[in-house]
Chains A and B, each alone.
Chain A
Amino acid sequence: MEISRRGGAGPSLVTLKLPMDFPAGLRVLVVDDDPLCLKTIEKLLWNCHYDVTTCPRADTALSMVRDRKGGFDLIMSDVHMPDMDGFKLLELIGSETDLPVIMISADDGKDVVMKGVTNGAVDYIVKPVRIEAVKIMWQHVVRKYQRKEKVLEPVECAEEEKKADENGENTSLAEDDESWKNGNRKKDENDGEDEDEQREDSPPLKKPRVVWSQELHQAFVSAVTRLGIDKAVPKKILEMMDVPAITRENVASHLQKYRLFVKKNNILGDQKQLSDGTRAGYAPVNSVSSFDLQGPHIPGQHMPQNQMNLRSGPRQLAATGTTLSLLDRMNRFNSNAQNSNTSRIVPWEQSFNNRQMNSILRSPTNMESRQSQQVLQSDSNLGLQATQGTSSFLDPFPMSTNFAFNLTPSSACPVNSIQQSRQFDQFRQQNNFTADVSTRGQLMNGISGELDDMLLSNLCQQITTPNSHVGGTSAAETLLPSSYGSASQTLYPCVGDNYTNALAGNSFPLATSTATRDILPLGMFGETVPPRSEIELLDHMIGSKPEDNFAPNHWNSNRNTGIESNVVMPNGTETPDCNKFTGAVQCSNSITAESSAAVTTNDVPQSSINVFPNELKNVVSDQFLQQEGIGVIDTELNYEAFSMDDILNYTPGPLPM
């Protein structure tokens, strides 16, 4: 994967090139008591080149998630299940992991969908699940990794940002309509923060910008909560946080923004919810549901149509309504406060000649799909961003799949097989990637939590109705290249290319119900491909090391074999290690998952692991590490984990070996 930096007046922009077959290999766990739905969704997912594991029972699914930390990228769960309520599962998964969970159900009742949203689901798809919805499900994973990526903000980027900030960004406050109208890119709180930082720091000194990572912010929030927002003073907060790298000034400026944010969003009463810093972004904040419902007050705008993307059809991302969990809002706040120029975001060249737009692209956001919706409704900045030549944004979002990827096939990334590339091309074409990413990024970055009614209404008018909207997330948001970069690293246990010639890209896996297999990533020619070292990966995420040969080693490993794999991502080097999962998970009535020791990937060299926050650590370690060497994918294993139904119903075709 190549990473290029674009400097210039705006923030530095990092362009990431996705591997050709992204999002192939995305590991999805589907939980549904209905075998029919399991079957169809599984097939859909496989046809989209995801690695699917199915499970008819919620308790089984929960064990799987627990046993295989980092073993999945995304969860899809039914709502009405006999053994456990889908929302309960959602809550449990959310409290123990930061996996994005999508709810699926035939029930499109508003209250049910609302419950999904408030309990932290990233999306809600109404049955029957269609391929269009499934095709772009990866966005939720990307989004999640964007959030994690914030942790990695390097100082160098911070300094660049600082420079960029000083290059004449508008310093008006968020509420300044004039600045909006002037079309100045408004960083709102970001600007505010810049201002704060500059004021508070001695002007000639350029301190590296403090990155308010998720952890930092949560520590901050819990400190503030303990002290009481009105009583919280930077000094005390600093003491409570006990983080060496930040100064009182950092805290003060962050507090100022936080207070503004809280005030705007009227979340004072729910502060205690924020104390739970464990949830990365899916706070099951039931208590805020009523609050969330009203959201930022939008006079005259009652639930703009895009708020509840409730559609009875399964199209794309169904409802992600207005409500933002409290923590999400905070995350959003936090991400805004980050002033980003966080390097990760990337300007899709097509749309980003506009410097302002570019600078708007920020890393983003801890936002989840519904956040983006929320943001659309509530943030005045959005309007500004929107007017910045983001006409592409303002255009009704094309049906879900229209967004632009900078999918530059890298010549350095050999395609594992012609079939794969063809398939991916097809997939890509079908997805019709266009260049709307920027708008999303802008949107996201523009979030200030502040409400500009005019802008909002302007924006809301622009925002198209659900149909044109990509599910819960506006298209652009998910396409931040950086997220791809990182996502690709973390998402795909890629390793090598297992495609055998006999296997077409979308061959249906013979093992339908979950099987965790020992899988060894195979390189292009069947050799085992070693996982990328953690450091390399992280470097890659940071963008400091353009990687050329990234692609071939990923993602493809299990597509053809029907094996659910948690194969770690490969990188270029040749190590025989591979994250493997042994044991077959039989998802009929019980799980017999013997996850072998190899499963969890903790072979990361300790030194590198320790560098990163736990959250990321899990991600990285779980996903990038290849553990014990594994033999070639044992396709025979395909048969191990059939559920009874599958056995009854399936007539396995010739197994490509």
Chain B
Amino acid sequence: MEHSNLKRLVTSMKQNLFDQGYLDEQFYELENLEDDISPNFVEEVVNTYFKHSSRLMTNIERALETNPGDFHKLDSYMQQFKGSSSSIGASKLKNECLQFHEKCEQENIEGCRRSFQKVKSEHGILKQKLEAYFQLLRQVGPGDRATSSN
């Protein structure tokens, strides 16, 4: 019984993430890539993402501080970040990246900074939510993953 409750919980958690716009269909795509050989693919990918994105954010932060005039560089970092985020389906984050990009285009350094703060914050939230999700998922067990509502 508890197992099925867990499953339900996982399902609804995931659904929430989608409903609230944290995740988009790319996340489903990742799930589709999971198979017997890579049963934890999504989780691995997400872990990789958070490691990499933290590095990227550090780069951006440093660039904002030390070289705020180089919008091209900032934009380049942000494109990388956006690429990464979109690859796991991090929808809100991606949007924030777009905002940042626009600020770069406008060469609005203050706008960039503010936007970046939002990016950081969204990043933190997503990380928390996904960590909780995967924790639960692990409890459910690999064979019993909640089916994605594609």
Residues of A within 8 A of B (CB): 33-37, 39-40, 43-44, 47, 78-80, 105-107, 127-131, 504, 506-508, 510, 645, 649-651, 653
Contacts and interface: CB of A to CB of B under 8 A. Distances in A.
B80 A653 contact: no
> A-B pairs with the 9 shortest C-beta distances?
A106-B83, A508-B37, A106-B82, A127-B83, A128-B87, A507-B37, A107-B79, A128-B86, A508-B38
Interface string B25-65: 01001101101111111001101110110000000000000
A131 B30 CA distance: 10
Contacts of A131: 29, 32
A504 B36 contact: yes
Given A43-B33, A128-B29, A653 B38 contact: yes
B135 interface: no
Contact of A39 (B26, B40, B45, B97): B45
B20 interface: no
Contact of A34 (B39, B40, B52): B52
B48 A35 contact: yes
Contacts of A78: 83
B47 A37 contact: no
12 contacts: A36-B52, A36-B84, A40-B88, A80-B83, A106-B79, A106-B84, A127-B82, A127-B86, A127-B87, A504-B36, A507-B35, A649-B48
B76 interface: yes
Contacts of B38: 43, 508, 653
Mostly, the A contact residues are: loop
A427 to B, nearest CB: 14
Contacts of A504: 35-37
A338 B40 CA distance: 53
A40 B87 CA distance: 8
Given A37-B84, A43-B38, A79 B48 contact: no
A508 B83 contact: no
Contacts of B37: 504, 507-508, 510, 653
A649 B32 CA distance: 19
The B interface is mostly helix, strand or loop, or mixed, namely: helix
Interface string B73-105: 000100110111011110000000100000000
Given A79-B79, A127-B82, A651-B44, 7 more contacts: A36-B49, A40-B88, A106-B82, A127-B87, A504-B36, A507-B35, A645-B48
A508 B29 contact: no
B81 to A, nearest CB: 8
Interface centre among B35, B48, B82 (most CB of A within 10 A): B48
Contacts of A36: 45, 48-49, 52, 84, 87-88
A504 B36 CA distance: 9
B76 A40 contact: no
Contacts of B40: 651
Contact of B45 (A33, A40, A127): A40
Contacts of B51: 35, 645
A347 to B, nearest CB: 36
A47 B89 CA distance: 19
Interface string B12-34: 00000000000000100110110
B15 to A, nearest CB: 21
Chain A CB count within 10 A is highest, among B41, B51, B79, for B79
A127 to B, nearest CB: 4
Given A106-B86, A127-B87, A131-B29, A649 B35 contact: no
Contacts of A106: 79-80, 82-84, 86, 97
Given A80-B76, A508-B37, A653-B38, A39 B29 contact: no
A650 B41 CA distance: 9
A37 B83 contact: yes
Given A130-B29, A645-B48, A34 B35 contact: no
B36 A34 contact: no
B26 to A, nearest CB: 5
A47 B33 contact: yes
Nearest to B49: A36
A36 B44 CA distance: 9
A128 B26 contact: yes
Nearest to B59: A82
Contact of B41 (A43, A105, A107, A506): A43
A78 to B, nearest CB: 7
Contacts of B32: 131
Contacts of B45: 36, 39-40
B131 to A, nearest CB: 16
A437 B82 CA distance: 36
B147 to A, nearest CB: 19
Contacts of B33: 40, 43-44, 47
A508 B41 CA distance: 10
Nearest to B39: A653
B36 A653 contact: yes
Contacts of B36: 504, 507, 653
B87 A649 contact: no
Contacts of B97: 106
B52 A649 contact: no
Residue among A127, A131, A506, A507 with max Cβ neighbours from chain B (10 Å):
A127
A105 B48 CA distance: 18
Contacts of A33: 80
A78 B88 CA distance: 17
A131 B33 CA distance: 9
A131 B31 CA distance: 12
A79 B75 CA distance: 12
Nearest to B38: A508
Contacts of B39: 653
B29 to A, nearest CB: 6
A76 to B, nearest CB: 13
A649 B51 CA distance: 11
Nearest to B85: A106
Contacts of A34: 52, 80, 83-84, 87
A128 B44 CA distance: 17
B68 to A, nearest CB: 19
A583 B39 CA distance: 28
B44 A39 contact: yes
Contact of B83 (A39, A105, A650): A105
A17 B36 CA distance: 32
A655 to B, nearest CB: 10
Contacts of A508: 35, 37-38, 41
Contacts of A651: 40, 44
B37 to A, nearest CB: 4
A79 B39 CA distance: 30
A105 B79 contact: yes
Contacts of A47: 33, 35
A129 B49 CA distance: 15
Contacts of A129: 87
A68 B110 CA distance: 48
B35 A506 contact: yes
B9 to A, nearest CB: 25
Nearest to A651: B40
A321 B129 CA distance: 40
